[in-house]
Amino acid sequence: RSVNIVAFGNERDGFSEDNQQPSLIWSYLRRSALISRIDSSLSASHVGNPVFTEYQACVFGNVRLVVHDCPVWDIFNSDWYTSRSLIGGADVIVIKYSVNDKTSFQELKDSYVPMIKKALNHCSVPVIISAIGARKNGVSCTCPLCTSDRRSCVTTSEGVQLAKELGATYLELHTLNDFYVQKYFGGVLEYFMIQTLNQKSSEKMKKRKKMQKCHRVQPPQLEQPEKMPILKGEASHYNADLHNLLCCCQCADVAFYPEDLSTVVEAHKIILCSVSHLFMLLFEVKSPADIHDASIVRTAQSLFMVEAGATSALAPRSIPPCVPPVRVVVKDSIFCSCLPDILHFIYSGAFQWERLEEDIKKKLKDPEKTEHVLEKVNCILKTPGKLNTVKDCRSHQMKQLYNTSLRLFFNTPVLADVIFKIQGATVPAHRAVLVARCEVMAAMFNGNYLEANSVLVPVYGVSKDTFLSFLEYLYTDSCCPASILQAMSLLICAEMYQVMRLQHICELYIITQLQSMPSRELASTSLSIVSLLKKAK
């Protein structure tokens, strides 16, 4: 068993006359009670100085300790292969600098830390940063030879910031005496050495068990019953939620009528506009100049007529949420008879063109009328400037209707009919989406609650950023937390509104991040284990 330590940097003040002071690594090896049989050898010289010194010793009785002490940073410039090999084989990395040599520290920070990051390449190697020496706060010399900032000190905050960049443990050693070297520095170093040995033993045991398993006689492979997936989260029901919205007709804000006003079919402007530029034009979300497609404008004018007095896309805050739906007359009677099937096709989310075609054929029983209606549907779903034919629809060139199209209306006042007030800011939203995707909000907006008849709804107990992330999930069915802390906040919000799938996504993200995060990176974050435990409960 062995432990490899690589130390970089010079702990001596480059402008001090006391250059006989022993190095940190040598002081530790000489003083530690755990070290025995120390051997040292110098490497090939580079410009008169040794590139690194190699020490070999025994630690913890029978563990071989190999230390490469590199006081000259030039090894990165002169021999990148050697320096990269040293870092690649290291179990612990020690970076040293003098608190009274600002120039060397700045060179370390600007030039060599990026190289160390590159050489580490996301490896979970513990790093110790040692700031050595007592800061000299005396008045600096004013002669011309001392006008640079060589005598200025490296502050504690600068050292801590450097440690955060590398995910390292930061130590300040005011002098190289028994306490600082043996107990303070030595205690941290020995902790990481023990962790390294435990990890190597665990890997060795796993490898041995794997080898033993490979040599065993394997039983015949019988067909196994299906098992439930472990911690994969709940399946998405995004499309089903929006389809159910059409079935229950909650929060409908548009009503389609035939010219004789004999029947009515209700729908939601936000869903229709999310899949169709024609409906955006119809409900004044876009103007003809924005569409740039004359065929869409002609189809909208020939197929629909919005009754006078309809509200605009940007509704004022004074309009109550109980306003009657916008009345739209469908001029084409054949198309109007198939409108329920067309809306079910749109709200289903998945592009099931064959099913729509079959339903219309059964209803009309006339190939020419069927083709006429399908051409109208194709024009409604058409992307401006693109030539989409019924043949393209049959060949599945259009896969989904609103994969991410509702994202266009997330956190915008366009078609919004509710405004959340949170932390002094306002967030516009659409009741239809909220009711479809969240049962708590469905009860809130359709029950005997104050929110059911209010445009402005206050939100308490969560931050604005967390609530926006929650709304983004409702609109897009996707969730990408930026950190464990953000996922924790989003988990609490999802629990408050009883959105189970979002809870599972946040739990899975937190568990995965904690399991994959190297210990040195975890130590550098502001996570509180006690807070984590409380939230887990």
pLDDT digits (tens, 9 = 90+) for 63-120: 888 888 888 776 666 666 777 777 888 889 999 999 988 888 888 888 888 888 877 7
In this prediction, residue 389 carries a pLDDT of 61
Structure tokens at 455: 């445009």
- Contacts for 232 with CB less than 8 Å, ≥ 6 apart: 508
For residues 294 and 358, membership in a common domain is answered with yes
In a domain, 242, yes or no: yes
- 345 pLDDT more than 70: yes
* Complete edge-to-edge strand list for the sheet that includes strand 265-267: 265-267, 254-258, 326-330, 304-306
In a domain, 74, yes or no: yes
What does the mean pLDDT of the chain come to? Answer: 80
For residues 111 and 64, membership in a common domain is answered with yes
For residues 177 and 105, membership in a common domain is answered with yes
Residue 329: give its domain's CATH number: 3.30.710
Confidence band of 495 (pLDDT split at 50, 70, 90): very high
For residues 167 and 118, membership in a common domain is answered with yes
For residues 243 and 199, membership in a common domain is answered with no
Residue with tokens 């926006």: 468
Max avg pLDDT among 98-112, 258-272, 504-518: 258-272
Distance CA 81, CA 354 (A): 62
Q: Which of 47-56, 179-188, 379-388 has the lowest mean pLDDT?
A: 47-56
Amino acid at the residue 66: V
- Contacts for 390 with CB less than 8 Å, ≥ 6 apart: 371, 374, 375, 378
Q: Which of 124-128, 151-155, 173-177 has the lowest mean pLDDT?
A: 151-155
Bridge partner residues of 49 (DSSP): 46
For residues 367 and 444, membership in a common domain is answered with no
For residues 75 and 111, membership in a common domain is answered with yes
Amino acid at the residue 373: V
Higher pLDDT, 534 or 376: 376
In a domain, 313, yes or no: no
Distance CA 97, CA 104 (A): 8
Structural domain count, the chain: 3
Tens of pLDDT, residues 460-487: 989 999 999 999 999 988 888 888 889 9
Higher pLDDT, 317 or 61: 61
In a domain, 485, yes or no: yes
In a domain, 350, yes or no: yes
501 phi, psi to nearest 5 deg:
-65, -40
- 457 pLDDT more than 90: yes
Distance CA 106, CA 6 (A): 21
Q: Which of 103-112, 294-303, 393-402 has the lowest mean pLDDT?
A: 393-402
Residue 413: give its domain's CATH number: 3.30.710.10
For residues 375 and 245, membership in a common domain is answered with yes
In this prediction, residue 68 carries a pLDDT of 86
Q: Is-above-0.85 flag for pTM?
A: no
Higher pLDDT, 353 or 387: 353
Structure tokens at 295: 């065929």
In this prediction, residue 197 carries a pLDDT of 87
Mean pLDDT of 279-285: 92
In this prediction, residue 318 carries a pLDDT of 42
Mean pLDDT of 30-46: 62
- 314 pLDDT more than 70: no
In this prediction, residue 387 carries a pLDDT of 65
Q: Which of 177-191, 225-239, 514-528 has the lowest mean pLDDT?
A: 225-239
Q: Which of 50-54, 107-111, 157-161, 489-493 has the lowest mean pLDDT?
A: 50-54
Please list the alpha-helical segments (H only) found in 109-155.
113-120
In this prediction, residue 235 carries a pLDDT of 80
In this prediction, residue 436 carries a pLDDT of 93
Residue ranges making up the domain that contains 499:
405-534
For residues 271 and 176, membership in a common domain is answered with no
In a domain, 374, yes or no: yes
DSSP state of 389: -
Residue with tokens 């990269």: 84
For residues 190 and 269, membership in a common domain is answered with no
- 24 pLDDT more than 80: yes
Distance CA 76, CA 80 (A): 5
For residues 8 and 126, membership in a common domain is answered with yes
For residues 440 and 526, membership in a common domain is answered with yes
In this prediction, residue 516 carries a pLDDT of 78
- 406 pLDDT more than 70: yes
Tens of pLDDT, residues 182-231: 888 888 888 888 888 888 888 888 887 777 666 555 545 444 334 333 44
- Contacts for 53 with CB less than 8 Å, ≥ 6 apart: 40, 41, 42, 43, 68, 69, 71
